[in-house]
């Protein structure tokens, strides 16, 4: 029991560390690690991961707000979509079979690996957008010489992708940061830094929307959720500190390979009914 708990704590620590260094979050690593290495039932793995996601997102918010990039209004508006999606995803989790969840998880992992190499879209001058102006989906962010203003585009498309991000979060127990960033920087044409920091800000609220439903279903086992939450939180706090000092391209390649391997393994395990 002590061996199992320490092994889970250590694995969670590294998941949090890698998740913070690559910006993908700890959830995408810890769920497959628990399911494939420790043979934990996927539902317990997802429940424990979701709690660690809330801790990580809330714990890291201070640093992001201080940098002055995250946008509370854009985050709050899009949280309408992610929380509704997350409640739907948590309901779906009880109806979708475990092997199918494994396959969806695998595909999401492959997407996350791809997205960590995706070039942020070029900054384009932002034409007026009536809906975005009405909803005040605008702001400015600090650059070397002053501040640059931005205004959201394609609001309905961004809202729609956020709803899908919410469903994935509630179904898989992850923050689904990769999909959230896609909605903001790709669909809504928001600056990359604003997208990533606002996404992190939103993850905790999204996860909290499915956590209540998970609790009621018995997905959250205290003896497992405790080491996972403490490990991922400690790892991601250290990762956020290291990120300021070290450059990560090499690590990013290593991590992408790990993510792809986990994704393929999850799809294979799901397809052969071993989850």
Should residue 135 be labelled a site residue for other proteins when binding is judged by CB under 8 A? Answer: yes
- 112 is written with which tokens? 């996350």
**In which element (H, E) is residue 123 found?**
none
Contact of 49 with 107, CB cutoff 8 Å: no
Size of the site for other proteins (CB under 8 A): 68
Residue 99 has, within 13 A of its CA and on its CB side, a CA count of 7
Give the interface segment with other proteins, choosing from 102-110, 116-124, 219-227, 246-254 (CB under 8 A).
Answer: 219-227
Q: How far is the CB of 10 from other proteins (least distance, A)?
A: 14
Report residue 263 as tokens.
């994704």
- 270 interacts with other proteins by CB under 8 A: no
C-alpha 17/C-alpha 52 separation (Å) is: 13
| 232 in Cβ contact with 106 (< 8 Å) | no
Among 7, 10, 37, 39, binds other proteins (CB under 8 A): 39
- Choice between 40 and 266, CB closer to other proteins: 40
Which residue in 130, 149, 244, 250 binds other proteins (CB under 8 A)? 149
Distance CA 150, CA 119 (A): 19
Give the pair of three-digit tokens for residue 20: 């913070």
Which residue from 139, 173, 239, 270 is in contact with other proteins, where contact means CB under 8 A?
139
CB-based burial label for 128 (10 Å; 0-12, 13-18, 19+)? exposed
Q: Check binding of 62 to other proteins (CB under 8 A).
A: yes
Query: In sequence order, what are the residues at sequence separation of 6 or more whose Cβ sits closer than 8 angstroms to the Cβ of residue 200?
Result: 57, 60, 61, 64, 70, 177
Residue 238 lies near other proteins (rule: CB under 8 A): no
Applying CB under 8 A, does 205 fall inside the site for other proteins? yes
Taking CB under 8 A as the criterion, the residue among 140, 159, 160, 238 binding other proteins is 140
Residues that bind other proteins (CB under 8 A): 1-2, 4-5, 38-41, 43-44, 51, 54-55, 57-59, 61-62, 64-66, 68, 70-73, 76-77, 79-80, 83-84, 86-87, 90, 134-136, 138-140, 147, 149, 204-205, 207-213, 215-227, 229-230, 233
């Amino acid at each position: 029991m002590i061996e199992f708990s320490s092994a889970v704590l250590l694995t969670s620590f590294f998941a949090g560390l890698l998740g913070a260094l690559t910006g993908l979050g700890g959830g995408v690593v810890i769920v497959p690690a628990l399911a494939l290495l420790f043979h934990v039932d996927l539902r317990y793995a997802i429940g424990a991961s979701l709690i660690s996601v809330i801790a990580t997102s809330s714990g890291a918010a201070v640093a992001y707000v201080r940098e002055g990039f995250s946008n509370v209004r854009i985050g709050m508006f899009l949280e309408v979509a992610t929380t509704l999606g997350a409640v739907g995803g948590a309901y779906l989790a009880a109806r979708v079979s475990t092997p199918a969840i494994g396959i969806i998880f695998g595909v999401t992992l492959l997407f996350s690996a791809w997205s960590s190499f995706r070039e942020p879209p070029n900054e384009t001058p932002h034409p007026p957008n009536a809906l975005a102006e009405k909803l005040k989906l605008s702001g400015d962010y600090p650059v070397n010489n002053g501040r640059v203003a931005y205004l959201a585009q394609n609001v309905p498309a961004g809202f729609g992708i956020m709803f899908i991000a919410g469903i994935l979060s509630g179904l898989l127990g992850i923050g689904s940061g990769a999909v959230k960033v896609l909605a903001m920087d790709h669909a809504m044409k928001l600056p990359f830094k604003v997208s990533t920091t606002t996404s992190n800000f939103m993850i905790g609220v999204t996860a909290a929307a499915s956590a209540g439903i998970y609790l009621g279903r018995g997905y959250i086992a205290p003896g497992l959720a405790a080491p996972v939450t403490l490990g991922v939180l400690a790892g991601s706090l250290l990762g956020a500190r290291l990120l300021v000092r070290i450059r990560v391209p090499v690590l990013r390649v290593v991590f992408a390979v790990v993510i792809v391997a986990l994704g393929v393994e999850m799809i294979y395990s799901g397809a052969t009914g071993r989850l």
